[in-house]
Amino acid sequence: MQNRNTRILGFLLLLIFVAGAAFSATTANAAPGAQGFVTATPGPDGRIIYIVAENDNCGQVALLHGITVQQLRDLNTRLDKDCMLTPGQQLVVGIIVIEPTQGPTLTPPPPTPTPTPVSGTTEVCVLLFNDVNGDALRQETEFGIEGGAVSLTNINGSYSEQKTTVSTFDPDTLEPDRTCFSEVPPGEYSVSAAASDAYNPTMLTSYELTVRAGDSASVDFGAQLKTVSADEPAQQSGNRSPILGIFGALFLLGGAGLGYYAWRSSLPKNRLKDSPLHRK
């Protein structure tokens, strides 16, 4: 019985030894793959880098990547003559040429046009018209006044010119002819107009004007004959005179009545009886 137990125990020990040996062999065979024998991918610069794992050697690394040991040495000039590797060491195992990615072709935007500065001179035209009705607005039947004076003067004194007005007009459009100043430089100007002594102005006689290069400006001035403005008040006064006469007469009669009443009230009664006005 004891011999039988001894044999069973020996058999179990043998099984345990065989199982341990098989496990060790399996672990040893699996170690290289677990230690990083994986094909590396190229980096941005095209180099394929392999990280050395534990127990790696140059022959294994070269075989894994399909190159010779000499090619591995050529790619990694720092390897010593024994080709000793250190875990964590970076090895170049290949170089590929990376074609540049063709991006979308950018169309340059059209050039922005540069505005051309306006230069040159302009024209200023002035109309001195006969403002018949005195409303400070030119009507179609109100034409220019001949012999008036108009002037255009730059505020800084660099330009000044005077001209005489005309009374002509275009027979087709019935538009009066204006007095124009041509080739006027840009700037700030004062434009004024004056008719003869026979007229009274019905509008301002001077304006401030900004002249810009390439523009054109037009200014109107109105004046009315003095005879027209003098006759109108007289005619209005004559129309109101009868009414004023009637009111004046009534006012005088009322005043006379109040005066007579006050006089009679102040007289003594006996004198009032003897008064000729009281006698019957």
Residues 84 and 144 both lie in one domain: no
Q: What is the pLDDT of residues 115-135, one digit of tens each?
A: 555 556 789 999 999 999 989
Q: What is the pLDDT of residues 87-96, one digit of tens each?
A: 999 998 888 8
18 assigned to some structural domain: no
Residues 67 and 163 both lie in one domain: no
Is pLDDT of 190 > 90?
Answer: yes
Residues 83 and 165 both lie in one domain: no
Q: What is the CATH number of the domain that holds 92?
A: 3.10.350.10
240 assigned to some structural domain: no
Mind giving me the DSSP string for the chain? -HHHHHHHHHHHHHHHHHHHHHHHHHHHHHHHHHTT--PPPB-TTSEEEEE--TT--HHHHHHHTT--HHHHHHH-TT--TT----TT-EEEEEE-PPPPP--PPPPPPPPPPPPPPP-S-EEEEEEEEE-TT-SSS--TT--BPTT-EEEEEETTSS-EEEEE----B-TTT-PBPPEEEEEEPSEEEEEEEE--TTEEESS-SEEEEEE-TT-EEEEEEEEEEHHHHHHHHHHHHHHHHHHHHHHHHHHHHHHHHHHHHHHHHHS-HHHHHHSTTT--
pLDDT (0 to 100) of residue 33: 38
Residues 60 and 133 both lie in one domain: no
Q: What is the CATH number of the domain that holds 146?
A: 2.60.40.10
Residues 220 and 142 both lie in one domain: yes
207 assigned to some structural domain: yes
Q: Total domain count for the chain?
A: 2
Q: What is the pLDDT of residues 18-57, one digit of tens each?
A: 555 554 444 444 334 334 444 566 777 788 889 999 999 9
Residues 136 and 91 both lie in one domain: no
Domain limits for position 144: 122-228
60 assigned to some structural domain: yes
Domain boundary among 97, 114, 140: 97
Is the pTM for the entire model greater than 0.75? no
113 assigned to some structural domain: no
Is pLDDT of 182 > 60?
Answer: yes
pLDDT (0 to 100) of residue 251: 61
Q: What is the pLDDT of residues 133-142, one digit of tens each?
A: 989 889 888 9
Residues 142 and 201 both lie in one domain: yes
Domain boundary among 97, 130, 165: 97
pLDDT (0 to 100) of residue 213: 84
Residue scoring higher pLDDT (15 or 139): 139
Residues 59 and 157 both lie in one domain: no
